Structure 1
């Protein structure tokens, strides 16, 4: 595995490259980082040049300017620059989960020549819901709770509302790399709550661009239906596409990496 950093406006993007073959960019969601894709990337590296990275302001992708509100379009531009640096002019397969799916949609809409196919897994497109205003108000409450009482109470309120568990604590009995990853992710929660959540959920995808591209939607097929199932269904209705069930839940790419790799290959190569 090769690791490197890419200098972009306002940040240094940490990234990893594995394998050989057509480029495949994996984009994580809120508070995640490249290590969460490690098992999946290792499996996919048998047939692809797999690119993973930490989103700006998260984990090892440090900001080079003062922190502030972030936007999906800014992250889409980061993905564009990263693909250009690693894959040059070769179009890439792109997989994005949660916020990452939205970043992939922005990349596809504004740099469609870089995207061979896009699969978005449980994208958090809140603004497409009929009750979007209620959710925007709740996320503002989450932010205000974060400001008053800190990350843990705010994360609990957020997780309970959307039906997705937050990351576990980095317990001492876990392997060192897992503890280190979880410690980074816990630190990323502050970035998510302060600078990402309220702005990222204002993103509205370019539906016409998605209809004109090789674009697919997936949800975790195990566990309860969550708010992210609702948002995925809302986008599927707008685009006029079906939803495929992938192994596991919201983080099935980590908890069910082997089955997820099979499903992702099938989606891209089918």
Structure 2
């Protein structure tokens, strides 16, 4: 069970695949397992490195000091520990914000950056959704109810055409032994609420790809596209039939774009 001892936490991470290193930063409420649909499609192209962010998964203690910048520093420390001088980088949702912060710390180490279903903009409705979900979770029988309330926000409409999908996802989430607790969820929400970026889109000097979900309800796509347009060397794509969980709704398409984009990046 790979762990990296840092001054205030034990950082859990997963490694699989072979090829150039690809650091994968999970989003809000998620850990290394959140890449479960996408990772198998990339293991023949990359060495996948997937840390559990603070307050999630098997990283302990759950209540260590937390911020988006601190989680980015943790991820960079992991790459130092593993001996990867340069690497590819992908972040989903909050992980996309972490990835942008990390680029400001890594100077010339990032070879190419992909951002999935994320935006460097303030989105009050998104935080209101998280606040409501946390309140539902802390109510009687909330452990099931909050997940049922979450799914319409993160999955595309096609997910609900098969009535068994909700039950399958619910059973898997409830059975997951490393699920984030309600208190840890609140702790991480504070980090996102207090986030103030130090790296702006115009500051990014890396080749950057941004993938948006056409049915993403949590990220205001027009605002995201406008913000990311400031990146000097950016490619933006919108994937149909994909919600906020773009790496689950459209795993095949995301994998294809990641492989093509990162394979065409010159080695440095």
TM-score normalised by the shorter chain: which range applies?
0.7 to 0.9
Asked if residue 214 in structure 1 is aligned to residue 204 in structure 2, the reply is: no
Deviation string 1:69-94 (CA, Å, 9 cap, x unpaired) is 621001001110111122x1431111
Aligned residue pairs: how many? Answer: 251
How is 1:81-230 mapped onto 2 (pairs within 5 angstroms)? Answer: 81-86=77-82, 88-125=83-120, 128-129=121-122, 134-135=124-125, 138=128, 142=132, 145=135, 149=139, 155=146, 159=150, 163-164=153-154, 182-184=174-176, 187-188=179-180, 190-191=182-183, 193-201=185-193, 202-207=195-200, 210-221=203-214, 224-230=215-221
Deviation string 1:90-142 (CA, Å, 9 cap, x unpaired) is 311111100111111111111123311111111253xx34xx5x559847964
Unpaired stretches in structure 2, ≥5 consecutive residues: 156-164
- Give the deviation of 1:38 after TM superposition: 3.0
Superposed CA RMSD in Å reads 3.8
The alignment's TM-score, normalised by the length of structure 1, stands at: 0.75
Deviation string 1:178-235 (CA, Å, 9 cap, x unpaired) is 95655448942625641122431433251266432222211124xx342314352242
Structure 2 equivalent of residue 245 of structure 1: 238
More helix by share: 1
SS of match in other structure, 1:113 = coil
Q: Could you tell me how far apart the structure 1 residues matched to 2:150 and 2:173 are?
A: 20
The alignment's TM-score, normalised by the length of structure 2, stands at: 0.75
Q: Could you tell me how far apart the structure 2 residues matched to 1:174 and 1:164 are?
A: 15
- Give the deviation of 1:264 after TM superposition: 0.9
- Give the deviation of 1:152 after TM superposition: 5.7
Unpaired stretches in structure 1, ≥5 consecutive residues: 166-170
- Give the deviation of 1:39 after TM superposition: 3.8
Among residues 259, 264, 267, which one is paired with 1:265 in the alignment? 259
How has the CA–CA distance of structure 1 residues 113 and 10 changed in structure 2, closer, same or farther, with 3 Å as cutoff?
Answer: same
Q: Could you tell me how far apart the structure 2 residues matched to 1:181 and 1:136 are?
A: 21
